[in-house]
Amino acid sequence: MAEKNKPHYNAVMLIDDNEIDNLINHKMIEASNITNKIFTHTGAKSAIEFLKNIEKLEGAGESILPDLIFLDIDMPLMDGFQFLDEFDKLSDITKKKCKIVMLTSSINPQDVNRSKKYEYVKKYINKPLTQENLEKLNV
């Protein structure tokens, strides 16, 4: 029997340079049963490339696009905010479909405020991801 009010997403994407965090968060998402597909990226650059490649698929791409992206802030090469700036350049379909949740160990109030400037960022959660966080997502 399906649980009432439990969010369900077609696909979820994790973007975090810490592979252990990705593994833990992947397992949490799997256990929460909120999605059938989980894409994991250890860098924001590869995640942006992945989204750009999906856009090239046109009609078929929309069904592959993640509904939810968990994004770390502090990453080498391209950080979470640089990812958001690149994400802003993607198609309207992608920006409309993908909701972003900042998932970070940063407790810097400036990061929280800065993330609010991006309309695609729906929530700011401190690591680690928990079942409670996932159940209360509602984005």
Mean pLDDT over 121-132 rounds to: 92
pLDDT tens-digit readout, 32-52: 999 989 999 999 999 999 999
- Distance, in Å, from the CA atom of 67 to the CA atom of 139, rounded to the nearest integer, reads 9
Amino acid identity of 15? I
Confidence (pLDDT) at 58: 74
Domains of the chain, earliest start first: 9-135 (3.40.50.2300)
Strands lying side by side in the sheet with 9-15: 35-41, 9-15, 68-71, 99-104, 121-126
| Residue 128 or residue 81, greater confidence | 81
pLDDT tens-digit readout, 1-27: 344 556 689 999 999 999 999 999 999
DSSP state of 121: E
pLDDT of residue 59 exceeding 80, the answer is: no
Confidence (pLDDT) at 2: 44
Mean pLDDT over 84-91 rounds to: 97
Torsion of CA 73, 124, 38, 60, to 10 degrees: -90
- Distance, in Å, from the CA atom of 131 to the CA atom of 129, rounded to the nearest integer, reads 7
What tokens does 15 get?
A: 């973007």
